[in-house]
Amino acid sequence: MSAPVSPGLRSGSLPLLVALMTLLAGLSLAGLTGVQTLAEGWSSAARNATTIEIPSDTPQLEDRTHTLVQTLHRTAEVTNVRELSPQQVQTLLAPWLGQVSSSGHLPGLSLPVVLIVAHTGTPDLGAVVHEALPEAVVEEDRRWGERLNGLGSSLVACAWLAVSLIAAIAVLSVGMTVRRSVMAQRKAVEIVHFLGAGDLTISSRIAGRAALLSLAGGLTGLLFLSPVITMLARKLAPFSHEATPPLPTNTWTDMFASWWATLHVLPRMLLEELGALPLIAACLGWMTAQTVVLVWLRRLP
């Protein structure tokens, strides 16, 4: 029975479908990792910073600002207090208020004094600042960190939903391909079935073939995905403490060494997930083919 039944799943479209599904799933996972990395970096930076704005019409502005800075330096958990220069404030506000004029000032606008306070933990800087300068406006940047965390969680959920939909589409595609291939050789399958071959034996042969084709498609999709992953790794390199300087790429050996060094920037979990995609594709192909063929055989007279 092996000769007629083993080639019962001769579909060139199955590896192509699995390769495309693997590529889509890998892109979703890579995009998810990139968003998580950026969100974590932004959240970490915002969690330990506070912005203080002092209106320019505050009485005794310079003296009271100096007093506030000294008070902040003496506050526990405050590590640094930095006052932005007028040029830095102008550059900061230019996207909203217009470009800086040739005289170096924004027309018709008196700029506030802006302090950036770096700290550890969550000190109550609002009470300290308002005690010294009630007119000051305190913006805790950790609120933006919380919003970014919420945004990151939403994007994570969307990415996993996309991966789940891709897996569902892959299962449906494999099932339809297997059913169409088996129906094309209905007579051969019926003959070996009537000769005494068990349902599980027939389905296992076809499911094994489907698993091999799915594995080949998954590996192909992973191969096509590697340039995208390399580009993502280069984009994430500035956010990684383990980033390495670019290596020369004059020869194939140098290119491979550069690619290998770049991959070290990616999180290990992402690499493990991408490496598991062909195996997951093979398992889905095997289970789907096994189920489809068994159900079809049970309906035979």
Tokens 């195996």, residue?
Answer: 279
Distance CA 128, CA 140 (A): 13
| Tokens coding 212 | 């091999």
3-state secondary structure of 124: coil
Helix, strand, coil % over all residues of the chain, rounded to 5? 70, 10, 20
Distance CA 177, CA 10 (A): 10
Q: What is the residue-level pLDDT of the chain in tens, covering all 301 positions?
A: 344 444 345 566 788 888 988 998 888 888 777 777 766 666 665 567 788 888 888 888 888 888 888 888 888 778 888 888 877 877 777 666 655 554 545 555 677 888 888 877 666 777 888 888 888 888 776 666 677 777 777 877 887 888 888 888 888 888 888 888 878 777 777 777 677 777 788 788 888 888 998 999 999 998 888 887 777 777 666 655 444 444 444 566 766 666 666 666 677 788 888 889 999 999 998 999 889 888 887 876 6
Largest CA distance in the chain: 102
Distance CA 47, CA 41 (A): 10
Distance CA 177, CA 299 (A): 18
How many residues are there in the chain?
301
pTM comes to: 0.62
Distance CA 90, CA 85 (A): 9
Q: CB of 126 within 8 A of CB of 138?
A: yes
